[in-house]
A and B are shown apart, each in its own frame.
Chain A
Amino acid sequence: MKKLIFIVLFSMLFIFSCSTTDAPFEHRYVVSLVLKPDMKFQRAYVDSTYRLDAYIDSNVTGISGAEIFIVDNNSDTFRYSESDTLTGLYFSSDSFCVKYGMKYFVNVIVNGEEISREVQVPGSLTICAPQHLDTISLSDPPILIWNTCEKCFDNTYMIASYIEKDTLMFIPMLTPDTTMGIFYNRFLFEEKDTNYTVLVEAMDSNFFSYLKSSSIYEKLGDNNAIGLIGAMVFDTIRVWVQE
């Protein structure tokens, strides 16, 4: 029996000594591109992953030389150009105007690798009530109401409120309805006699998946890339909140 115990203990020590080491580095391209109607310029950012154990100068990240072009339903092609100020940042030209409800094909070519995704831009979105610059009394709060957004993925919206120019209480909330009693939640409006911005967003499927994902960035199709290529529409109102 003693022999058996020694054999077991020795085997355990041997096996423990062969425990798996950390996995190797994995290179991926990282793309961030969100189409938004009514914006003068569309933006994109192209970067890659970096080693965790290597020194990286944060100021020199980003990949230049990428080719970004978007094709609409009419087969018109719009190209992005590289920013002079920030490596990896790309802008569309002012001739490209993203339209509500339109479908686009986004293509990014970086170091010879093509990353493409189809993007469905939702229809227009408008907050119906309360009105912009209204005064909200938390003791008798109104219901936030907006219109049904066509082609909005899963008929789901994201709502957020925050003090202007501040992200102090930026808590996004998802809802499948077109109403929300957001002003009933006093915690979101803890600071009184202040202007708050209330934001309602609708998204395409890519943006929605990214929003719900716990890993922040999604794998982009079959490509060796992660990030977000999607679309969103939104409306905001500014309201004065008092007790």
Chain B
Amino acid sequence: MLCAFCLMFLVSQYNVVTGQVYDAATKERLPMVNIVIMGTEQGTVTDSDGYYSIIVGDTLNEFKLRYSMMGYGQITKDIKFSGREHLSVDIAMHMEPLKAQGILVTAKKEKFRNTASITPPSLSQKDLMMLPSFVEGDLMRTIEALPGVTKSSDFSTSISVRGGGPDQNMVLVDDVPLLNPFHLFGLVSAFNSNAVKSAELYVSGIPIKHDASLSSVLDIRTKGVDKEIKGLSGVASLSVLSGSMALGSNIPSLNSNFLLSVRRTYADKVLALFDYDLPYYFYDGYLHWETDIKDWSLVLSGYTGKDFLDIRDEDDESIRIISFDWGNEVAALNLYRSNTKGDLFHIYAGYSNHDFFLRVLDTLFLTDGNIDVGTIGTEYTKKYGDHEIAIGLNECYRPFEYNVNFNMGFEYSYSDIWSNRASIYAEDQYRLSENLLLLGGFSLTHYYSGSEEFDLTNQDYLRAYRLSAKYFFDDLRAVSFSFGNFHQYIVPGGSVMGNAGVDIPVYYWIPLGGEYDPEEAHHFNLGLEGWLKEDIYFSLEGYYRKYNRLLNMKGFEDIEVANEREYYESMLEEGDGRAYGFDCLLKKEIGNLRGWLSYSFLKTDVAFGDEAYPTDWDRNHNFHATLLALLGKKYEAGVQFAFCTGNPYTTDLARFRYRAEFLPYENKYCDPSWIELEGDKNQVRYPPYTRLDASLARSFYFGNNELDVKLSVYNILDSKNVFMYYYDYDEEPPVKEPFYMLPRIPSIELIYKF
């Protein structure tokens, strides 16, 4: 009553605009619409019934109101008072594609016009939120539905791009490289969706400044707070895996905004209440601080993430069966200066660290490693007429530390290995005519590696090139060709968890030094892209990739282990590889019913020594269909379907009786057991892979807050996708039994936005 009285009093003293905002198509009233008096910091949001009221000082008689909401086109309305008035303004908003909030690759027509190669496929944040989840939304599991991306199993979020290995994708967080960005042995990625603003997956047309990976570049930008949002805002979410919280705010007095996001698994804490000790958890956290100072924009970002596994002897807790932890830390500073002519000056500096520690059976096996990356660089982009020229410098220093201790008698220690990569590059994009866009780029890299302990010196000057051309038939269609060569300077020296037949992407990374030269690949791409209608994008791109110098970890039997030097010098074998195929994408980007179809054909094989074979991720045919539906204002549904060729595997050709010697001095054999004789590597395939995922989300509104409840079912048909085969010798002849990938997994996520 008192409030109503106060409001009436205020209303009588000031001008007031009230009204309601609704969906133009469904006529549903829209809550949480941002309404701002343009040119001021004054504004409001609609309530849960779509109503709003905004009080204006009597000195402000003429102004513009801006209505905005995610997923809808922005509307500006002229307001004019002729004295103290109460105006009623109802607004109908039209749904349109999300652009500014895109979380994945942002391909737009503008980019299509200004990129001299195929533009990467794009997904919006809304799409990501609506897509079915595996336990919780995961950037890397979303990317796997894009064309050109294949996987070797459901158990890992690591991806292979156009035939390249999982280790050949460079992941950048705000321009700083990040190694092994995975939790839970690769089952989920290290990227919390609440903290990621955008991610671009470069599969072709990779910019010249990125010459440190053979296959692709995943460029991730951390998220701040939209400038329209006032006060503290955030997202709290809870899934069956973890709980997370993101808090952010604008600080107008500092012309800044920040976002802090943390995530942690909680099963260990919950089970502890029931006296059950779950020996595993992970956490991660992001910080993003953005400040505008005159023409400069400063972005300071940080990431930390850690996994812990600690299994102890049930009888004696002082004895550790397995103790394993690994994680990453990133700190990055980006400075941008732009002007109205479109010139951009970018300076960045960053540090990242990847460390791991593994202890098996008390002190039987101990290993730990620590890889630091210090990077600094600058890039200046300037437009001269029809030319857009970029020049840049990049310096990347990596010290490595790596220790293995095998029961106090067998030790390797590489504590003073380091590599340094300094690059200078230039790229010119030239619009030769209205229909033809050309690009040429060149970089020169000085690579140097060394060690204090033994001679690991490798000094090399490496040249990289980029050439591309795009011919526009009209505003909506273009054909493009691109070529580039790529280098990689660090490779996995095996997986921390060994080669257990599972692609666990927690690698030991080692720098290439001594006799090992940096790896090299050449990419050739020819593509066609455009729009069939205003809202249906298509792309078709064929490619051929040649790997001249691949380095692969040898089998342990072929490695000399007498000392560190021999171990390093004998641990890698050199080989060649190739990949070819084509990727198709057909995508409807706007409307209440959206989605895409993608098909990729891929052939990839490698040759090491006398052995040539398809890679583990050589899925020849990959078909993905994704459907997203907005069912009114409150419901959202998503369906994802995958149908792919089975992965190659090494079959067993026969079996034999294995008679191990019991003990040497007893001169007798153990009871014999059957062992399989393997054939040539990866010559047969598992049955085709199929999977259907579905999700349904419902939104509830509480004043200015929103609660989303999302139900997802991963592999809803419970398709039996074979991961591996084994033989059950309880019967004679033995039965070939399949071990399947992930079964049907339902999950629920609660996402509270405030």
Using CB atoms and an 8 Å cutoff, list the residues of chain A in contact with chain B. Answer: 1, 5, 8-9, 12, 15-16, 19-28, 30, 32, 34, 36, 39, 41, 43, 45, 47-56, 58, 61-62, 154-156, 159, 167, 171, 173-177, 179-182, 184-188, 190, 199, 201, 209, 212-217, 226, 232, 234, 236
Q: Are A25 and B623 in contact (CB under 8 A)?
A: no
Chain B residue contacts of A58, Cβ below 8 A: 657, 672, 732
Task: Please state if A15 and B620 are interface contacts (CB–CB under 8 Å).
Answer: yes
Stretch in contact with the other chain, from B242-250, B277-285, B358-366, B630-638: B358-366
Complex alpha-carbon distance, A22 and B642, angstroms: 25
* Most A Cβ at <10 Å: residue of B556, B653, B676, B688: B653
Tell me whether A176 and B561 are in contact in the complex, defined as CB-CB below 8 angstroms, given that A19-B685, A25-B654, A201-B664 are known contacts.
yes
Give B537 Cβ to nearest chain A Cβ, in Å: 12
Shortest CB distance A158–B (Å): 10
Chain A residues, Cβ within 8 Å of B623: 9, 12
Cβ of A192 to closest chain B Cβ, rounded Å = 11
Assess whether B645 is in contact with A19, with CB atoms less than 8 Å apart.
yes
Using known A-B contacts A181-B407, A185-B364, determine if residue A26 contacts B656 with beta carbons closer than 8 Å. no
Residue of A51, A53, A62, A176 with most partner-chain B CB within 10 A? A176
- How far apart are B627's CB and chain A's nearest CB, in angstroms? 15
- Give 11 new A-B contacts, CB below 8 A, not counting A55-B732, A186-B319: A36-B667, A43-B667, A55-B733, A154-B562, A173-B364, A180-B408, A181-B408, A184-B363, A185-B363, A186-B362, A226-B677
Interface string of B524-566 (1 = CB under 8 A from A): 0000000010000010000000000000000111001111000
Quick check: A20 and B657 within 8 Å, CB to CB? Answer: no
Chain B residues near A190: list those with CB within 8 A: 313, 316, 319
Bound state CA distance, A180 and B364, in angstroms?
11
- Interface contact B656-A215, CB-CB below 8 Å: no
Q: Let me know if B677 and A156 touch, CB within 8 A.
A: no
What is the distance, in angstroms, from A118's C-beta to the closest C-beta of chain B? 19
**With A15-B621, A23-B679: A234-B665 Cβ-Cβ less than 8 Å:** yes
Q: Is the CB of B688 within 8 A of A185?
A: no
Tell me whether B240 is interfacial, beta carbon within 8 Å.
Answer: no
Nearest CB of A to B611, in Å = 13
Decide: A217 and B675 in contact? CB cutoff 8 A.
Answer: yes
- Across the interface, B410 reaches (CB within 8 A) one of A45, A55, A176, A201, namely A176
**CB atoms of B555 and A213 under 8 A apart:** yes
Q: Considering the chains assembled together, what is the distance between the CA atoms of A27 and B656 in angstroms?
A: 10
| Given A19-B687, A55-B732, A201-B664: A173 in contact with B654 (beta carbons within 8 A) | no
The reply on B377 being an interface residue by CB < 8 A is: no
Q: How far is the CA of A79 from the CA of B651 in the complex (A)?
A: 38
List 16 A–B pairs whose Cβ atoms lie within 8 Å, in order of A's numbering.
A20-B683, A20-B684, A22-B651, A23-B679, A26-B677, A28-B677, A39-B667, A49-B677, A52-B655, A173-B409, A174-B410, A174-B561, A180-B408, A186-B319, A190-B316, A236-B665
Q: List, in ascending order, chain B residues with CB within 8 A of A48's CB.
A: 656
Bound CA span A36–B665, Å: 9
Residues of B contacting A56 in the complex (Cβ-Cβ under 8 angstroms): 732-733
Tell which of B313, B363, B406, B645 touches A175, judged by Cβ atoms closer than 8 Å: B406
Q: Which residues of A contact B675 (CB under 8 A)?
A: 216-217
Measured in the bound complex, the distance between the Cα atoms of B406 and A182 in whole Å is: 10
B556 contact from A43, A175, A212, A226, Cβ within 8 A:
A212
Q: Which of A9, A45, A226 contacts B659 (CB 8 A)?
A: A45
**B residues 551-607 touching A (CB-CB < 8 Å):** 555-557, 560-563, 584, 586, 597, 599
Interface size bracket, B side = 35 or more
Bound Cα distance from A224 to B361, whole angstroms = 40
**Shortest Cβ gap from B300 to chain A (Å):** 46
Pick from A23, A187, A217: contact of B364, CB below 8 A.
A187
Closest beta carbon of chain A to B659's beta carbon, Å:
6
On whether the beta carbons of B410 and A175 are closer than 8 Å, the reply is yes
Q: How far is the CA of A56 from the CA of B646 in the complex (A)?
A: 31
B652 at the A interface (CB under 8 A): yes
What residues of A have a CB within 8 angstroms of the CB of B665 in the complex? 234, 236
Interface flags, B650-674, vs A, CB<8A=1, else 0: 0111111111011111010100100
Q: CB within 8 A of B688: which of A16, A25, A45, A184?
A: A16
Q: Are B656 and A180 in contact (CB under 8 A)?
A: no
Q: Closest CB of chain B to A38's CB: distance in Å?
A: 9
Shortest CB–CB separation between residue B561 and chain A, in angstroms? 7
A177 and B410 form a contact (CB under 8 A):
yes
**Cβ of B294 under 8 Å from chain A:** no
5 smallest beta-carbon distances between A and B, as pairs: A180-B409, A181-B408, A49-B654, A187-B362, A212-B557
Residues of B within 8 A of A234 (CB): 664-665
**Given contacts A26-B653, A181-B409, are A213 and B364 in contact (CB under 8 A)?**
no
Residues on A with C-beta less than 8 A from B653 are 23-26, 49
CA of A125 to CA of B506, assembled, Å: 40
A174 touches B664 (CB 8 A): no
- Chain A residue numbers with a CB within 8 Å of B657 are 30, 47, 58, 61-62
Are A185 and B621 also in contact (CB < 8 A) when A30-B656, A174-B561, A217-B675 are?
no
Q: Which of B538, B656, B675, B683 has the most CB of A within 10 A?
A: B656
Bound CA span A216–B319, Å: 30
Known contacts A8-B599, A190-B316, A175 near B409 by CB under 8 Å: yes
